[in-house]
Amino acid sequence: MKTGLTAALAAAPLLAQAGTTIYGSIDAGLTRVSNIGGAGVTRTDSGNMQPDRIGVRGTEDLGDGCQAVYQLETGYATDTGAQLNALKLFNRAAYVGLGSRLGTVTLGRQNNFMFEMVARQSNGVLTGSFYAFHPGNIDDLTNAGAYDNALKVVSAPMAGLTLGAMLAPGEQPGDAARSRAFSLGASYAAGQFRAAAALSDTRNRSLALGQSAGVRSLLGRTLISGQANAPVYAALATDRVRSIGLSASYGAGPALLHALHVDTAITAGSAGTSMKSSELGVNLRTGGFTSLNLGLARTTLEGRRWDQLTANQVYTLSRRTSVYAQVLLQRASGNGAVAAINALGVSSTPRQSALRLGVHHLF
C-alpha cells in the first residue's frame, strides 16, 4: 500500500483564504517489473515520486504570537481512484493544536520523527521513488508509521536545531504499555548542511515480512507456508519494534550528497533480531530543467542481504509538473533471501528489476 514520502515536499497551494490551504499531489506512470512471483508484469502505478494525497491545513492568529493549527490529509490511488485506507478517511494526518514562538503542541493522528526528520535525507525522498524505501518497509521512514491518538510537541528552531517528542498511549484498560508508541527526534540545518536523528518505538505491532519481503521465517515463526504457486502468509506478532535512524545531506554546487542509516530492533517473546539499512545518494542538476538522482542501499536481516540501485532522471516542465524515468535493480543473497523491491511485490529469485515512466503534478 502506498504511503508517504515526506512533508518536506509539501504541495503548492491551490486555495489560500483565511489561513486555509488546499493542496495535493498526483503521480501516475507505467512500471515494468521483471519478476513478481515468477513472472514479469507491466502495470499502472501511482504515488511513486510523491504520494498521491489531498489535504487541508491552516492556522488562525490568536494574538500575542500564538495561533491555532490544524491539518487533515488523505491518501488515494490515481490509477484506481480508491481511498488507500478504507477504515481511515484521513489516513495520512488528522490533528489540531496550538503554536507559539516556542513551538507547537498538537493532538490526533500524526507522523513520527523517523518520517518527518530522518526520511528527508533518504533515497526514497531524494531520489523521488517510493520503490527506493527498504524491503518490508518496517522502519517508519514512510508514513506507514503514523500514530493514532498522539500528543506531539515540536520546538521552534533554535540556532538551526529543532527538537520533538510524541506519545501515543495504547488506550488499553489494565495494560498501559500495550499498543503504546512514542517517538523522539532532532534535526539541524546550517547553510547547505542538514542532519537528523530519531527514534520510534511501538508495542504489539504486526509485521508482514513474508508478504512484503519474502522472508519465510523469523524468530522461530513461519511467515510463508503452502505451495510456491499458492503461498499462505502469516504476520509476525511482535512485542516491540524500535527504529533508530540517522541521516544527513550536503549541497555542493550542482550536487546534493546524502546518507542514511537505520537500525530496527524486533522483539517477539524472548527472541529478538534487527534489520539494518544503509544508504548513499547523490542528486545532480544536469541542466536547467533536468536532474539525475542516484541511490545505493543495503539492507540486512539474519544473514539475508538486499542490495539496490535506484536511478531517476527528472525533467521539470514547470514549477508544479515533471516527467521522469526510473530504473531500479535489486539483488538478494544469503539465507534463502529473494528480491523484493518495496511496494512492487516479491520476486521468485534473488534478482528483480523495474523500469518506470511517470508524470507528477502538485497542486
pLDDT > 70? residue 4: no
Question: In this prediction, what percent of the chain has a pLDDT beyond 70?
Answer: 95
Query: All 3 cell numbers of residue 71?
Result: 491539518
Topology adopted by domain 7-362 = Porin (2.40.160)
pLDDT tier for residue 110 given thresholds of 50, 70 and 90: very high
pLDDT > 80? residue 104: yes
pLDDT > 90? residue 183: yes
Average pLDDT, the chain: 94
Which value, to the nearest 10 degrees, does the dihedral of the CA atoms of residues 284, 287, 289, 293 take? -20
Question: What pLDDT digit, counting tens, does each position of 41-78 carry?
Answer: 999 999 999 999 999 999 999 999 999 999 999 999 99
pLDDT > 50? residue 9: no
- What was the pLDDT predicted at 144? 82
Q: Which residues contact 53 (CB under 8 A, 6 or more apart)?
A: 4, 11, 24, 25, 47, 73, 74, 75, 76, 92
Its pTM stands at: 0.93
Q: Where are the domains of the chain?
A: 7-362
- What was the pLDDT predicted at 14? 41
Sequence length of the chain is 363
pLDDT tier for residue 12 given thresholds of 50, 70 and 90: very low
pLDDT tier for residue 229 given thresholds of 50, 70 and 90: confident
- What was the pLDDT predicted at 145? 78
